[in-house]
Structure 1
Amino acid sequence: MRLALQDPSALARHRTVDEPSQDTVEGVTIDLSRKRVVLGEETAPLTYKEFELLQYLVLREGRTVARAEIISALWPAPDADAPNERTIDVHVRRLRSKLGAYQDIVRTVRGTGYRFDRHADVVVRHDLRGPSPDL
């Protein structure tokens, strides 16, 4: 019964040695609809602003985005909390550290800004129609 209900412990006991595990996931999944980034099997602990920054770059894939554009998009109201251009560099550094081995998907374009470069092992999910990365 547990096997028919796809219980993970029952599936693990039933799986043979020759059968590859479907649970092993390589690469990065950037799930825009669920607002999360999955590295392999672990969800990256991104802050709200770090995810918003990554999402902004992902939606402009291949285009260099200036620091000033990032500031005006992510901090639209002119207030005291709006960062300067160097603060954006700090946000990007923290984002990259949480992306680990995949930190090079956020590229620095010297003197201009940043760009998202997709690799073969990077999947971007825009909506809920695709399969959940939890499966």
Structure 2
Amino acid sequence: MTEVTTVEVTVSIRLSAPSGQVVDTAAHLAETLREALDVPAAEVVVDLPLPRAELRILADSRRVLHRGRDVELTRLEFDLLHHLCTHPRQVHRRTALMNSVWGATSFVDTRTVDVHVRRIRRKLGEAASLITTVRGVGYRVDNPFAVSVEHDALAG
């Protein structure tokens, strides 16, 4: 007697369509695949696309894009923004940021962090509200969905 093993296969398809037609186009594609592969309807799942974050951090190439445009940051500004965005919803004390971003082991004025955050906010423009000030403590990124941190080494 032969034992039958069930294998699950997930196929991801990137589809471009006008925003008002995405759902209909995806549904049509799913129906076409369902018919071509003879797969029962209950087994085909179509996830709606997630909106792309307006602020993107391309970690490998050390670039920041806001609405597709480059945001010119210094090395420390990039490192600080990257650190805050990769650890969202956490309050980061100024002294801890000095240690983790600057690598400062001796006393350096923690107001240096404030100056860098102010510069980052100015350069981010409309996206400046991404970084929240926690009075007397430090900084936090409250909405991790407002920013996308990507590893772009393979993205030519």
TM-score normalized by structure 2?
0.59
Specify which of 114, 129, 134 is matched with residue 139 of structure 2.
114
Please list every run of at least 4 consecutive aligned residues from structure 1 whose deviation after the TM superposition is greater than 3 angstroms: 126-129
Aligned length: 107
Deviations 1:11-63 (A, max 9, x none): xxxxxxxx68xxxx871111122211101121001111000000111121110
| Bigger-Rg structure (1/2) | 2
Distance 1:88 1:121 in 2: 22
TM-score normalized by structure 1?
0.68
- State the match for 1:97 in structure 2: 122
How does 1:29-108 map onto structure 2 within 5 Å?
A: 29-78=56-105, 83-108=108-133
User: Which structure has more RCO (C-alpha within 8 Å, separation ≥ 6)?
Assistant: 1
Shift of the 128–105 alpha-carbon distance from structure 1 to 2, 3 Å rule, reads same
Counterpart amino acid of residue 46 in structure 1: L
Q: Which has the higher helix share?
A: 2
Ranges in structure 1 where 5+ consecutive residues have no aligned partner: 1-18
Give the share of equivalent positions with the same residue, in percent: 35
- After TM superposition, give the deviation of residue 102 of structure 1 in Å: 0.3
Ranges in structure 2 where 5+ consecutive residues have no aligned partner: 1-17, 20-51
